Amino acid sequence: MSVFVHKHSKVIIQGFTGQHATFHAEESMKNGTTVVGGVTPGKGGQEHLGLPVFDTVHQAVEKTGADVSGIFVPPPFAADAIMEALEAGVGVVVVIADGIPVQDMVRVKRYAADKNAIIIGPNTPGIITPDACKVGIMPSHIYTPGRIGVVSRSGTLNYEAVQQMSELGMGQTTSVGIGGDPVNGTDFVTVLSAFEDDPETEAVIMIGEIGGPQEVDAARWAKENMSKPVVGFVAGVSAPPGRRMGHAGAIISGEADTANAKMDLMEELGVHVVRNPALIGETARRVFS
Amino acid sequence: MNIHEYQTKELLRGYGVAVPDGRVTHNVDNAVAIAEDLGGERGVVKAQIHAGGRGKGGGVKVAESLDEVRQFTDEMIGMQLVTPQTGEEGRLVQRVLVEQACDIKKEYYLGLVIDRATQRITVIASASGGMNIEEVAKTDPDRVIREAVDPAIGLAGFQCRKIAAKIGLRGQQISEAAKLMQALYKCFREKDALLAEINPLAELGDGKLMALDAKMSFDSNAMYRRPTITELRDFDEEDSKEVEATGHGLNYIALDGNVGCIVNGAGLAMATMDSISFHGGKPANFLDVGGGASPEKVGNAFRIVLQDPNVKIILVNIFAGINRCDWIAEGLVQAMRDQDISVPIVVRLAGTNVEKGAPILEASGFPFIMADNLDDASTKVMASLEASA
């Protein structure tokens, strides 16, 4: 098994005919993903990559039975695209865009409250269940099927951890990028909970960064609710307070926000904390063997 | 994106928030004229820089006479104002805000933030005004009131009255405070703010409420639809290297170490800095080249990192997903050809097209120090620094 996306997932791409969307849709298909079509308003009825293009997500879902959407529209239009997917009944919505206004996401989350859907992102490389379903922009060749769940805020640091795992012969059930924005669709707790319920996942690597309480909240939740071990790392030990480190969400605004404060608390709560980012894979191997 | 206090007050005045009468100037004679115009002998002179804690560094002074207005303005304009937020070099004061002095009976705190815990716009209020709210939250958490706003409803009148009553306002003040909170919320929504802070919110001698100091910051991702706010940006308040980097689509933050960093992705950039620190080194900067890094972008990254005279070595750490290692490698070689680079360069490449990237560096003949992984890269950085020390 896996979490959120699997080999039976039917994926549509919003913003399908755009250059990036096209490239990454093809990459996903090469990795075994079932892409069933896409949406570009005004281009309904056309064909793209041999698949149908629809004007609305509603039509796409009705005709293809899609249950996952990858959103590749630019930030100013992304919030509307997410709500369109939610309204059409899509169960997993993956939002790649980096730079969605925060207040747009505040409204999206309110809209999503009664929709029973999972929003992955925004500002994420996406989600991948290796060789079964990939919705996003990550380099699929570094991922291999396996027994470890990976969840991270950062994209490239997710790649870094996965590469370290691969070199030691460990693969992934699913790798989820929850994104670097302060208001995002899915938090660590939701993903940890899914990994706990997934019979194939044996352990989880959680990669956080400075800013916000969610890594510690997740560790607290894991202590109460998880039987599987969690390895944790928080990036930004050397980051100065008050400065936004690239990601809109990565800013130290109080003492509890620093990487060390978070890692100390996570350790107290039973997470296997890695202090050296080069040793994420090593630590995972030690904990899981 | 931050703006000055005087700009925030003008903005809020437009929404009906009571702020003291006052005007901004960069000239001493004008300052005196403004104080005279305001009618009172007593006035407040406030240095306009973006950093907080100005009072502690001598950037906020109450003048008892026009002579003192002249004296204080003369002292402030042109000074390097050092506050707990500026670093030891301070910030150049180019203008002052001259305001009417108020008769203050009590000080409150009122703020709006986007709270990560509730993922909503949240009102924060306290009867302990004029102090750092984070301090109050730590030492006296019961004195900090929080009220999250439902985005579908907006900030409701009853919520405002509840907050006002909880911080101890009475009678007429409750509806006055409610009006003020709703004005602040409206401004926050309409201008895509991330933070709005009135501290202190003063209760005057006659019982009226007034925003004595105000601070707002805005969501740079939303500024494409807020041209009137974008106009308020003051580039003098920002690091010139950071502004230049943004222009090239790079994310750069200057730090105080000597290891220059060029990385893709914010998380990996932070982890690279952490790895250097873990090995006993000090990063000179945070730099994220982002996705789709062209050779030209890499060249610009080098130029910006090398503007910092403290940089003794550069670590390039690329894990290409959407990027391509061959483009990065071409950019590195081009930068070595075009720029006078005398510091050693440690390079770690991984991900998309890595098999094409490494040979390009090798064939160039430049003495790149190649690293296999993150740990190896930091180890080589430290070894190289030690060898040259």
Q: What is the pLDDT of residue A11?
A: 98
The pLDDT profile of chain A, 289 residues, written as one tens digit per residue, is 799 999 999 999 999 999 989 999 999 999 999 999 999 999 999 999 999 999 999 999 999 999 999 999 999 999 999 999 999 999 999 999 999 999 999 999 999 999 999 999 999 999 999 999 999 999 989 999 999 999 999 999 999 999 999 999 999 999 999 998 999 999 999 999 999 999 999 999 999 999 888 899 999 999 999 999 999 999 999 988 877 777 766 666 666 788 999 999 999 999 999 999 999 999 999 998 7
Distance from the A238 Cα atom to the nearest Cα atom in chain B, whole angstroms: 5
Amino acid at B74: D
Assess whether B109 carries a catalytic annotation. Answer: yes
Distance from the B188 Cα atom to the nearest Cα atom in chain A, whole angstroms: 10
**Cβ-count burial of B33 within 10 angstroms (0-12 exposed, 13-18 middle, 19+ buried)?**
middle
Distance from the A157 Cα atom to the nearest Cα atom in chain B, whole angstroms: 5
As for the ipTM of the complex, it is 0.90
Q: What is the pLDDT of residue A240?
A: 85
Q: Which two tokens stand for residue A174?
A: 């699913």
Q: What is the pLDDT of residue A14?
A: 98
- Verify whether the Cβ–Cβ distance B266 to A245 is below 8 Å: yes
Q: Nearest residue on chain B to A154, judged by CA atoms?
A: B267
Residues of chain B with CATH 3.30.1490.20: 21-101
- Verify whether the Cβ–Cβ distance A76 to B351 is below 8 Å: no
B274-277: long-range contacts at Cβ-Cβ below 8 A with a sequence spacing of 24 or more? B274/A235, B274/A236, B274/A237, B274/A238, B274/A259, B274/A276, B274/A277, B275/A276, B275/A277, B275/A278, B275/B374, B275/B375, B275/B377, B275/B378, B276/A238, B276/B315, B276/B378, B276/B381, B277/A237, B277/A238
Alpha carbon of B8 to those of A80, B11, B52: distances in Å? 30, 5, 14
Instruction: Name which of B319, B326, B380 to mutate to probe chain A: the one with the most chain A Cβ atoms within 10 A of its Cβ.
Output: B319
A–B: how many Cβ contacts below 8 A?
Answer: 171
Q: What is the pLDDT of residue B239?
A: 82
pTM: 0.92
> Which residue in the set B116, B194, B277 is minimally distant from A213, CB to CB?
B116
> Positive or negative, the Cα torsion across B297, B303, B308, B311?
positive
How many CB atoms neighbour CB A159 within 10 A? 28
Give percent of chain B with pLDDT exceeding 70: 100
Measured in whole angstroms, how far is the alpha carbon of residue B168 from the centre of its chain? 32
- Verify whether the Cβ–Cβ distance A138 to B321 is below 8 Å: yes
> Which residue in the set B120, B192, B270 is minimally distant from A239, CB to CB?
B270
> Which residue in the set A101, A142, A235 is minimally distant from B221, CB to CB?
A101
State the Cα–Cα distance between residues A93 and B156, nearest whole angstrom: 31
Q: What is the pLDDT of residue B42?
A: 86
Residues of chain B with CATH 3.40.50.261: 239-388
Q: What is the pLDDT of residue B333?
A: 95
Query: Cα-flanking dihedrals φ and ψ of residue B74, to 5°?
Result: -60, -40
Nearest residue to A47 via CA among A19, A16, A71? A16
Distance from the A7 Cα atom to the nearest Cα atom in chain B, whole angstroms: 23
- Verify whether the Cβ–Cβ distance B267 to A107 is below 8 Å: no
| Architecture of the domain whose range is B239-388 | 3-Layer(aba) Sandwich (3.40)
Residues 6+ apart with CB under 8 A from A119: A82, A86, A93, A95, A108, A112, A184, A185, A186
Contacts of A104 in chain B (CB under 8 A): 222
> Which of B5, B147, B197, B203 is labelled catalytic?
B197
CATH number of B21-101: 3.30.1490.20
- Verify whether the Cβ–Cβ distance B270 to A100 is below 8 Å: no
- Verify whether the Cβ–Cβ distance B269 to A109 is below 8 Å: no
Instruction: Name which of B187, B194, B322, B352 to mutate to probe chain A: the one with the most chain A Cβ atoms within 10 A of its Cβ.
Output: B322
> Which of B109, B147, B185, B330 is labelled catalytic?
B109
Residues of chain B with CATH 3.30.470.20: 1-20+103-237
Q: What is the pLDDT of residue B138?
A: 81
- Verify whether the Cβ–Cβ distance B114 to A103 is below 8 Å: yes
Nearest residue to B47 via CA among B11, B90, B88? B90
Domain B1-20+103-237 classified CATH 3.40.50.620? no
DSSP string computed for A106-138: HHHHHHHTTT--EEE-SS--EEEETTTEEEESS
Q: Nearest residue on chain B to A282, judged by CA atoms?
A: B375
Q: Which two tokens stand for residue A103?
A: 């207040």
Q: What is the pLDDT of residue B131?
A: 79
Contacts of A253 in chain B (CB under 8 A): 134
Assess whether A24 carries a catalytic annotation. Answer: no
Distance from the B103 Cα atom to the nearest Cα atom in chain A, whole angstroms: 33
- Verify whether the Cβ–Cβ distance B275 to A245 is below 8 Å: no
pLDDT < 70: residue spans in chain B: none
